[in-house]
Amino acid sequence: MKFIKQECANFINLECLGVSVFGKKFREQGACFILEDKPCLYFKMCVLPLVEEKGYGDVIDQYEEIDKDSKSSKLKVRKCECGQDIAKSKQMCEKCRKIRRREAKTLNRDKSLSYSP
């Protein structure tokens, strides 16, 4: 993954430094976990969030292949049925929500029209 070499702060001189953002060691210095197809906590916490911003969306999928547990984690951005990224608490994006609301309104109006004398 080219992305790691560019974005992971721990990836120096083809090796992982193993130091977290707080200056604590989260692993021994050595070969990058990701490049060995192993889950990496630092990558998950600090690098993955940048991934989508920078337009490397497929890196998330690649990482999920390595770290199966991350699949259901909050890192994964929820997608609306139209493909728009949405907050996890939301059911659909703002646009679709408006469309839905308008449709519901129209339905209600039609109903009230047909019931009116």
Q: How far is the CB of 51 from Zn ion (least distance, A)?
A: 22
| Closest to 7 in 3D by CA, of 61, 45, 37 | 45
Identify the burial level of 87 via C-beta atoms within 10 angstroms of its C-beta, where 0-12 means exposed, 13-18 middle and 19 or more buried. Answer: exposed
d(CA 115, CA 108) in angstroms, rounded, equals: 11
Grouping H, G, I as helix, E, B as strand and the rest as coil, residue 110 is helix
Compute the least distance from the CB of residue 86 to Zn ion, in Å. 7
Residue 51 C-alpha from the chain's centroid: 8
Minimum gap (Å) between residue 97 Cβ and Zn ion: 8
How far apart, in whole angstroms, are the C-alpha atoms of residue 69 and residue 105? Answer: 41
CB of 82 to Zn ion, least distance (A): 3
The residues that touch Zn ion, with contacts defined as CB under 5 A, are 80, 82, 84, 93, 96
- Cβ proximity to Zn ion: between 62 and 84 the closer is 84
